Amino acid sequence: MRYLLLIAGNESQMKSATPEQGEAMVNEYAEFGKTMAERGVLQGGERLRSVSDATTVRVRNGEVLATDGPFAETKEQLGGYYVVECKDLDEAIEVASKIPGARTGSIEVRPIWEL
Amino acid sequence: MTTEVEAAVADAFHAEWGKVVATLVRLTGDLDLAEECAQDAFATALERWPRDGIPRRPGAWLTTVARNRAIDRARRATLGAAKAREVAVVEPGLGEEDEVPDDRLRLMFTCCHPALAFEAQVALTLRTLAGMTTSEIARAFLVPEATMAQRLVRAKRKIRHAGIPFVVPPAPQLVERTAAVLAVLYLLFNEGYSASSGADLVRRSLTAEAIRLGRVLCVLMPDEPEALGLLALMLFHDARSAARVDDEGDLVVLAEQDRSLFDAATIAEGRERLDAALRLGRPGPFQVQAAIAACHVRATGETDWAEIAALYDRLFEIAPSAVIQLNRAVAVSLSEGPEAGLALIERIPPDALRDYHLLPAARGDMLRRLGRRSEAAEAYRKAHDLAGTDAERRYLERRRREVSA
């Protein structure tokens, strides 16, 4: 089964990290990506820019409305994602628990709606 | 229909329902389908057993009928094209009729998966393993039937959509996941146990279901001391059920319970289970609680409150909580005196048990024994206002009047 692992964390906390902390985090993510790619579960994933760079688009009555910011103000913001292919939810949970962000933020595990 | 056949079907239902469903889940990978086929099999038994006689192996008979039903349904579904995938899942396992011993254990772990809400875990366990109907479960948990039906539908959908597996978890997760299964069984037991006797038989039946499932779990996990500990704990509590309530339905506190009403056979089984657990040499919270419960069902003589206090110390080391602090304070008040008990109650973090009626109830008892009557009356009043059942409220009101007289 395929799952989307959404990485949520507190952006303002992340922005206050020192350059060393930031570099350590990038290295940890690189390590995670390498391990999971070797294991064959990783199908994709990206880090996202801050929600302050987000634009929300709606079409109402045929009119395109673009506004600044994410679609919901929340304590934790979406910071990145992975798409993984796992045997079942137990494996997806195990993979999610190894994402560095799981220790400071949270990971939402969403089964992909296969058509 | 003869009562003999009816009794045989009822026995088979209790003994075999979980097995039939678990086997069908393995064969079809579909919980709903498994339940429907099991239901059909039992309906067929009611029709045929009076005519053909009770089969030599009712479980195997029921599983075969349920399995054939699953094949029929799969065939019909192929005609409907959309369900072709189900057939693919059904076909490979067919032919193995007997239960794989782990089937029910797998199903227990599926039902008690932490990705499901706790209340959904509880409802699913009762539906798929104990065979209780949705309306019975709804009545047992005092929610509308539609709410319970929704809860079950959602839980099953999540199992299917999220890919919650039908497996016994591997070693690294086994301890934690077993604890989740035990927590569900203990909640079932307590829900039934706290229901006043006779008032609602469906609620009371939860204790029997919890014990039955506890026994099954002990067969499936013979080396799991906490499963044995939980079963022993439930048996010790259950052994006292006749003595817990008087003829008027009022609560009788432990100290005033008539020991001749305790069920000796159940206590003996509890002791056997607890001994077996302790021999495994891996202590845990349920084993310690069972050891405490064992102290309360001793046939003769005074209760050894010093031993009970020591066991609560032990329990607090393994799983610290304010409720354990309170119970320990009560045990100390009965072994060393009410003053020592009160001192321990004062040490419980004030916010920890703010809405827990047993805290002021225990304080009231200690104050009463110290002759501080007006403080005791105030404590009983507070406990009365927080208590959840009528029987408890009547008991606390009686106590309050005694110290106010």
For B222-247, how does the pLDDT look when each residue is reduced to its tens digit (9 = 90+)? Answer: 999 999 999 999 999 999 988 888 88
Tell me the backbone φ, ψ of residue A42, rounded to 5 degrees. Answer: -80, 125
The predicted structure's pLDDT at residue B86: 47
Query: For the whole model, what pTM was predicted?
Result: 0.83
ipTM value: 0.88
In CATH, what number is assigned to the domain containing residue A16?
3.30.70.1060
Tell me which residue of B305, B254, B213, B250 sits closest to B14, measured CA to CA. Answer: B213
* Separation in Å, CA of A7 to nearest CA in chain B: 18
What pLDDT is stored for residue B99 in this prediction?
53
Is the distance from CB of B360 to CB of B386 less than 8 angstroms? yes
**Running DSSP on this structure, what letter comes out for residue B205?**
H
Roughly how many angstroms between the first and final C-alpha of chain A, as a whole number?
A: 12
Whether residue B123 contacts residue B151, with contact meaning beta carbons closer than 8 Å, is answered with yes
Contacts of B119 (CB under 8 A, 6+ apart): B141, B151
Contacts of B23 (CB under 8 A, 6+ apart): B63, B66, B67, B97, B98, B99, B100, B103
Amino acid at B364: G
Q: Which residues pair with A64 in a beta bridge?
A: A59
Interatomic CA distance for residues B372 and B40, integer angstroms:
65
Chain A, window 34-93: residues with a beta carbon less than 8 angstroms from a chain B beta carbon: 86-90, 92-93
Of B163, B165, B169, the CB nearest to A111: B163
Q: Do the beta carbons of residue A112 and residue A3 sit within 8 Å?
A: yes
Question: Whose CA is closest to B59, among B110, B31, B26, B24?
Answer: B24
Two structure tokens written together for B321: 């909580």
Per-residue pLDDT of chain A (115 residues; tens, 9 = 90+): 999 999 999 988 888 889 999 999 999 999 999 999 999 999 999 999 999 999 999 999 999 999 998 988 888 999 999 999 999 999 999 999 999 999 999 999 999 999 8
Q: Taking Cα atoms as reference points, which of A114, A106, A90, A115 lies closest to residue A2?
A: A114
Tell the burial category of B122 from Cβ atoms under 10 Å away from its Cβ (0-12, 13-18, 19+): buried
CA distance A104 to chain B (A): 20
Question: Which residue's entry shows tokens 């079809």?
Answer: B28
**Which among B371, B403, B370 has a CA at the least distance from the CA of B383?**
B403
Tally: H helices and E strands in chain B: 20, 0
- The C-alpha atoms of residue B23 and residue B17 are separated, in whole angstroms, by 10
**Contact at 8 Å (CB) between A10 and A77?**
yes
B47 Cα to chain A: minimum distance (Å): 40
Tell me which residue range forms the domain holding A11.
Answer: 2-111
- Classify residue B168 by its DSSP letter: P
Is the distance from CB of B165 to CB of A94 less than 8 angstroms? no
Low-confidence residues of chain B: pLDDT under 50: 81, 83-97, 197
Q: Does A111 touch chain B (CB under 8 A)?
A: yes
Relative to beta strand A2-9, strand A106-111 is antiparallel
Tokens found for residue B103:
């089937």
B400: enclosing H helix or E strand: helix B390-404
Distance CA A107, CA B26 (A): 30
Question: Which residue, among B157, B161, B166, would best test binding to A if mutated, counting the most A CBs under 10 Å from its CB?
Answer: B161
| Any A CB within 8 A of B163 CB | yes
B126-169 pLDDT, tens per residue? 999 999 999 989 988 888 999 999 999 999 999 999 999 999 99
Residue for token pair 């920890």:
B352
Q: How many domains does chain A have?
A: 1
CB B26 within 8 A of CB B100: yes
Nearest C-alpha in A relative to B116: A89
